[in-house]
Amino acid sequence: MADAIHVPTSSFAREVASVPGGEALNKCIQCGICTASCMVARASEKYRPRQIIQKILIGKRDEVLRSEQPWFCMTCRMCEENCQEGVSPAEIFHAVRIIAAQEGYIPNVFRKTTDTVLEDGWMLKDAYSDFVEDERDDLGLETDLCMNDTFVKLLRDKYFKENKE
């Protein structure tokens, strides 16, 4: 049946399709144009957007969530520009990363950043220098950007199940 190819075939595919950004997964026809358009795929044989989507469609949940590959996407959207089915692999991988992060699968290179954010709400705390504060003040912007415990708790609750109390 011709339409069957557009129906997510695994529970993992349905799970990804239910996360904002993952909805278009069920339109992928596995043509491979995304991989052919992707500059990251050109730079690394390890990264193949079409193949990651295929693994999602056939339900390789653990393999995909534990893999670093969905985190390689630079969100340049060249694949999206070229996809004839209106699929955005970048959005799909974003949805996958949300699920992966909720389950604690975050590559070490990103782990350091998330740990920093979860510690005090800042990603680049050192970048908020007196100079930036003065500039914000001159522009009439809020200068007290101290992220409080409530903000950090909201982040933890929303994105990191492992950190829920």
Binding site for ligand SF4 (CB under 6 A): 28-34, 37-38, 40, 49-50, 53, 73-79, 83, 85, 87, 89-90
**Which one, of 69, 73, 66, 105, lies nearest residue 89 by Cα?**
73
Closer residue to ligand SF4 (CB): 29 or 123 = 29
Alpha-carbon gap, residue 87 to 54, rounded angstroms: 13
Alpha-carbon gap, residue 17 to 156, rounded angstroms: 23
Quickly tell me which residue has 């949805």 as its tokens: 95
Min CB(67)–ligand SF4 separation in Å:
14
User: Own/partner pairs for 26-31, CB < 8 Å, 24+ apart?
Assistant: 27/85, 27/86, 27/87, 28/53, 28/57, 28/85, 28/87, 29/5, 29/85, 30/5, 30/54, 30/57, 31/84, 31/85
Min CB(65)–ligand SF4 separation in Å:
17
Min CB(89)–ligand SF4 separation in Å:
4
Closer residue to ligand SF4 (CB): 90 or 121 = 90
Min CB(129)–ligand SF4 separation in Å:
32
Closer residue to ligand SF4 (CB): 83 or 117 = 83
Quickly tell me which residue has 């992060």 as its tokens: 101
Closer residue to ligand SF4 (CB): 75 or 113 = 75
Min CB(7)–ligand SF4 separation in Å:
14
Token pair belonging to 31: 């043509």
Closer residue to ligand SF4 (CB): 85 or 133 = 85
